[in-house]
């Protein structure tokens, strides 16, 4: 079974609003990563948070990790039309093992 599951499956917002996506996983992890995929393209790494970290920021992105609840959230602040894409969380159970991806959240940002 997949390690990570994103929620919601789809999200539609207006430019300037914040977008929050959640990820839940089932087992202990080494780290959790978020990726973005534009239509017809490969995935692009956004941010990595290690199991001993609780929050991380990168530009307009904020990621939180709650290992007790086995969940993470990705917040995109002041969204732009260019943020329209699918967002995936990915986890690995331990160092050296493969990343397992969820099915993603499709974000649509309208101007």
Which residues would be at the binding site for another protein (CB under 8 A)? 2, 30-31, 33, 35, 41-45, 48, 50, 88, 92, 95-104
> What contacts 85, CB < 8 A, 6 or more positions away?
36, 37, 38, 39, 106, 107
Q: Which is nearer to another protein, 42 or 59 (CB)?
A: 42
| Cα distance between the two ends of the chain | 37
Q: How far is the CB of 109 from another protein (least distance, A)?
A: 22
Q: Which is nearer to another protein, 41 or 80 (CB)?
A: 41
């Amino acid at each position: 079974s997949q390690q990570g599951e994103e929620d919601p499956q789809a999200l539609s917002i207006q430019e300037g609003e914040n977008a929050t996506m959640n990820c839940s996983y089932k087992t202990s992890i080494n780290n959790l990563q978020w990726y973005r995929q534009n239509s017809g393209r490969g995935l692009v790494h956004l941010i990595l948070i290690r199991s001993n970290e609780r929050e991380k920021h990168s530009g307009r992105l904020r990621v939180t990790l709650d290992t007790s609840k086995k969940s993470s959230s990705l917040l995109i602040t002041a969204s732009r039309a260019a943020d329209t894409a699918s967002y995936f969380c990915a986890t690995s159970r331990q160092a050296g093992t493969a990343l397992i991806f969820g099915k993603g959240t499709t974000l649509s940002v309208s101007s």
